[in-house]
A and B are shown apart, each in its own frame.
Chain A
Amino acid sequence: MNQRTVVVISAGLSQPSSTRLLADQLSAAATKAAAEKGIELKVRTIELRDLAHDIANNLLTGFPPAALKEATDAVAAADALIAVTPIFTASYSGLFKSFIDVLEKDTLAGKPVLIAATAGTARHSLALEHALRPLFAYLHAVVLPTAVFAATDDFGTDTAGSAGGTLRSRITRAAEEMARELERRDPVAVLDPFALTTNFEDLLKTM
């Protein structure tokens, strides 16, 4: 069976958090959708809350402490990313953005990203489209067409059919989009930052 890895980043702050709840539903759905295509998905979920101090320290010192380095390396090595944030003040949370800010340049270039968010009411749902989607587009990620938003209500009364479908159907649709992206891509090859991309004689010749 084909193997691929997905890293889930969850920026929820409370415990238990509805952000983590949505993240888990997305990773379970992605695992199922991938399995239907003969892909065994290895899922690693990273709670940004656990890395909050390390992220702040990275911003201040310029280098990641060991636990954060391990997490950012995992993101770089992942075949796809599921990024879930609570909506704070009309946008992604500061912790979520700070984690994205400390990723090495080009970490997400060409990587499929499923974006998802939680908030108290459905009035925040377009934050996914006006905040998260441009953020990941700027980073040259391949943002999946379906973004998944869950308001608190969705966890209770997820039955009514609407134009966008229920939360459950949105999760399934996004997971299927991710599986399709994984199926048509080769596994990610991580570039060694210490590897030379050219030798010095060639560098001199370009002068």
Chain B
Amino acid sequence: MQFGIFSVSDITTDPTTGQTPTEGERIKNIVTIAKHAEEVGLDVFALGEHHNEPFFSSSPTTTLAFIAAQTEKLLLSTATTLITTNDPVKIAEDYAMLQHLADGRVDLMLGRGNTGPVYPWFGKDIRAGIPLAIENYALLHRLWREQVVDWQGKFRTPLQSFTSTPRPLDEVPPFVWHGSIRSPEIAEQAAYYGDGFFANHIFWPASHTQRMVALYRERFAHYGHGDPDQAIVGLGGQVFMRRNSQDAVTEFRPYFDNAPVYGHGPSLEDFTRETPLTVGSPQQVIDRTLGFRDYVGDYQRQLFLLDHAGLPLKTVLEQLDLLGGEVVPVLRKEFAARKPAHVPDAPTHASLLEKKVTA
């Protein structure tokens, strides 16, 4: 099982100090955070894509390539890459390029994006979000698998005799996850292609995630990719830890209360009960995270959100120390002990290449 972190790249004022990092500071901090994720033994670093303030990450492949150059093993991913407003041709090119530079340590998670104005800024219509995701991915899928593509669709100019360059590393396209909070069509899309499905998980009650994952697993089997429990599932998670759980609650509360997404709304206690957010000791995080398996089954990737809501860099790095030092080693052992042999790991470049060679 893979463990990692994902960042939404928000630039948020630290409510306890009133300090706001500059864009430059936050961008450099994210590189430090990603490198530290590798240092503490995590497997994955995923970065969001946004085209509006207060987020900096408009060009994830630039950031990820910079991180790739300074890491050895870390798998670089996205959370999410906008399949609706980006040109699928550019996604095909950018991520194949990143694959080469990162020696295959790349996959990506596609999402639609829910910021209304971003669609018209890129010449699209949010009401066509699902059709855009379907058509654009159908083209992206072909561009990575067919040398020469002739193509015509509704949303971009036609292609005649087009070859996307560079070709995917070893002619093995990056593995793709489809991320969605609440659209069954996206779970269906992931199932149809035999791709991974990533449930955001952190903004909704567990019962909701359970239904979405169950649908994906059922349809994965329907399309002949394996048994339902062999589908490739990833989950988001959100934690804040201190050795003493009351210290974690006290320290995190002002960040929670002022967080851009849920701040000034439910209490920390309510939100912890209603969603997978865990604020407490490393042992509490271990127990809660192992419990995710009870409602989604054996799954392949767990990403945590750590660096948001204005938390200072020092605190985020301390969270990584606890996650990598105390939490993930136990989770690896416990999840592995529970997983039956026929449930696959998340595909990597190496495993996909091996599959291709043996086929």
Residues of A within 8 A of B (CB): 56-57, 59-63, 65-66, 69, 193-196, 199-201, 203-204, 206-207
Contacts and interface: CB of A to CB of B under 8 A. Distances in A.
Interface string B257-269: 0000111111000
A62 B134 CA distance: 25
23 contacts: A60-B262, A60-B263, A61-B203, A61-B261, A61-B265, A61-B266, A61-B271, A62-B203, A66-B205, A66-B274, A194-B215, A195-B184, A196-B185, A199-B188, A200-B192, A200-B219, A203-B130, A203-B188, A204-B134, A204-B138, A207-B134, A207-B138, A207-B153
A200 B208 CA distance: 22
Contact of B191 (A66, A195, A200, A206): A200
A206 B205 CA distance: 33
B338 interface: no
A207 B131 contact: yes
A204 B261 CA distance: 34
Contacts of A204: 134, 138
Contact residues on B (Cβ < 8 Å of other chain), bracket:
20 to 34
Given A57-B266, A200-B219, A200-B223, 9 more contacts: A59-B265, A60-B266, A63-B204, A63-B274, A65-B266, A193-B184, A194-B215, A196-B185, A196-B219
Interface string B113-152: 0000000000000000011001100100000000000000
B215 A65 contact: no
Contacts of B270: 57, 65
A194 B184 contact: yes
Nearest to A58: B265
Contacts of B271: 61
A69 B205 CA distance: 11
B281 interface: no
B211 interface: yes
Interface string B154-165: 100000000000
Contacts of A201: 192
A57 B134 CA distance: 33
Nearest to B204: A63
Given A65-B274, A206-B131, A207-B153, A60 B264 contact: yes
Interface of B: 130-131, 134-135, 138, 153-154, 182, 184-185, 188-189, 191-192, 203-205, 208, 211-212, 215, 219, 223, 261-266, 270-271, 274
A61 B277 CA distance: 13
A59 B265 CA distance: 9
Contacts of A61: 203, 261-262, 265-266, 271
A111 to B, nearest CB: 22
Nearest to A201: B192
Contacts of B184: 193-196
Contact of B188 (A57, A66, A200, A206): A200
Which 6 pairs show the lowest CB-CB distances between chains A and B?
Answer: A60-B265, A200-B192, A57-B266, A194-B211, A57-B265, A61-B262
Contact of A56 (B153, B154, B265): B265
B134 A203 contact: yes
A63 B274 CA distance: 10
Contacts of A200: 188-189, 191-192, 219, 223
Nearest to B222: A199
Contacts of B153: 207
Contacts of A199: 188
